[in-house]
Structure 1
Amino acid sequence: MSRNLMSFSAMRKQWDHGGKTTVQRGYGKEHQRIREELKRTVILCEHCTKEGRTAIGCIADHITPLSKGGSADRSNYQWLCQDCADKKDAADRGVTYRPKRQISKDGWPID
């Protein structure tokens, strides 16, 4: 019996940005420039590094979100891995972070 399984990332709910474009939300050329600089110079997740773990960063995150008055300059950015970014996003929204369970090839959860 074959089933079509979607990846977890494909099942993620899309954000409702209120009809605003990427640039209108503060992620224009300057954000892309800072993101590329972080990707080139920082490489590892800054939060994991502080906690003694090693993980490759992939998200240019605003320390204080733009929606809460954060600035768009380099001093308000940090380079995070997906897991740390998800945790921070949940904390910023005031919800409990529940990590997605990984499933092995045989279909059983990985603890």
Structure 2
Amino acid sequence: MPMQPPRIGGARKRVAWAPTRKMPVKRVRGRAGQKARAQVIAEEPLCRKCLERGVTRKTDKVDHIVPLAWGGSDARSNKQGLCDPCHDEKSKAERAIDAEQRRRFDATR
């Protein structure tokens, strides 16, 4: 079976990939992420949602007020300290909103 000779100079030039839509903000990870979480916990040792209800509970998780997937930033102003139950409740509500938006998007297609 004959082989085809290699092309020299006839190949198309590669173009760098560019996103077609706005991509969410990249999450800070590693030591920088650990330092940022430690800062939030040091500044907010008590759960923000529990304090609004008059309950005193320790901060267990650092939460993005506006999720990164929704266009929120990874800045300190977009982070809050929450206890596990409050974080789970907020995350569940966000997932429900996401699911509803996906259903509406699929219905329009």
Identity of aligned residues (%): 36
- Candidates 47, 50, 53, aligned match of 1:51: 53
- Candidates 58, 65, 68, aligned match of 1:66: 68
Name 1:89's counterpart in structure 2.
91
Higher helix fraction: Structure 1 or Structure 2? Answer: 2
Q: Secondary structure at the match of 1:79?
A: strand
Aligned residues of 2:40 and 2:76 also touching (Cα < 8 A) = no
Q: Secondary structure at the match of 1:60?
A: strand
The number of equivalent residue pairs is: 72
Aligned residues of 1:57 and 1:81 also touching (Cα < 8 A) = yes
- For the pair shown, which has the larger CA radius of gyration, 1 or 2? 2
Aligned residues of 1:38 and 1:79 also touching (Cα < 8 A) = yes
| 1:28-71 Cα shifts (integer Å, max 9, x gaps) | 14432221012222100011001111110111100000011000
Name 1:26's counterpart in structure 2.
27
Q: Which has the higher contact order (CA 8 A, sep 6+)?
A: 2
Name 1:4's counterpart in structure 2.
none
Deviation at 1:25, TM superposition (A): 5.6
| RMSD of Structure 2 on Structure 1 (CA) | 1.9
Task: Give the ranges of 4+ consecutive aligned residues of structure 1 lying more than 6 Å apart after TM superposition.
Answer: none
Gaps of at least 5 residues in structure 2 are: 1-24, 98-109
Name 1:6's counterpart in structure 2.
none
Q: What TM-score does the superposition give when structure 2 sets the normalisation length?
A: 0.60
Q: What TM-score does the superposition give when structure 1 sets the normalisation length?
A: 0.59
Aligned residues of 1:31 and 1:72 also touching (Cα < 8 A) = no
